[in-house]
Amino acid sequence: MAKPRPKTKIENVVASVILNQRLDLDEIAATMPNVEFDPEQFPGLVYRLKKPKTATLIFNSGKMVCTGAKSEKEAKRAVHKIVKNIREAGIEISGRPIIVVQNIVASASLGAELNLELAAMKLENTLYEPEQFPGLIYRMRDPKVVILLFGSGKLVITGAKFEPQIPEAALKVMGRLLELGVIRIPEGEDWSGDDFADEEE
């Protein structure tokens, strides 16, 4: 059988938002449900949505940070919903929110175990200190992401700004690991199939 393609799943999208106006957080806290605001503990207000399931930090500067979305589209939907809810509560928001994805975190599986000691020796731009952390940290140049590699063949990809970078990074790292001979291919399986794109030096 040909080698499997890595399976990827987006776990969290973090987006920053600029409203270009100041907000009265006390007023928002007094009029909106599902918000937490304790200025003595933390200067931002936390606005939780059930659909899409997200938590958004809102600051009086008009800046917001939305976390918990499972896609870029979901993050944007959450922000627009919050802005709409605040407007409907009678609080004026004049402009359109400027939304920028800052970080996409995804999990992935290569379908086979890895020899991390060997990977740490052969793979460039890595950090591996098993006494401190069980995974190997690999900084990929293109796409510019950080990948945590675990012996089980599970990965965590972080630092992506666009969704297509996730499968691209998983495919590239799998190709590189196969090339270096650090993937323990399951017995009886033949992974010599179409070649994956190699990491550009």
Sequence spans of domains, the chain? 20-96, 104-184
Alpha-carbon gap, residue 83 to 17, rounded angstroms: 11
DSSP 43: S
The domain over range 104-184 is classified in CATH as 3.40.50.300: no
CA–CA dist 117, 115 (Å, integer): 6
pLDDT score at 194: 54
Same fold, 20-96 and 104-184: yes
pLDDT at res. 193: 62
- Write down the pLDDT at residue 169: 97
Q: How far apart are CA 145 and CA 159, in angstroms?
A: 5
Fold (topology level) of 20-96: TATA-Binding Protein (3.30.310)
- Predicted structure pTM score: 0.89
By the 10 Å C-beta count (0-12 exposed, 13-18 middle, 19+ buried), 126 is classed as middle
Per-residue pLDDT tens digits of the chain, which is 201 residues long = 567 789 999 999 999 999 989 999 999 999 988 899 999 999 999 999 999 999 999 999 999 999 999 999 999 999 999 999 999 999 999 889 999 999 999 999 999 999 999 999 999 999 999 999 999 999 999 999 999 999 999 999 999 999 999 999 999 999 999 999 999 888 778 777 654 444 433
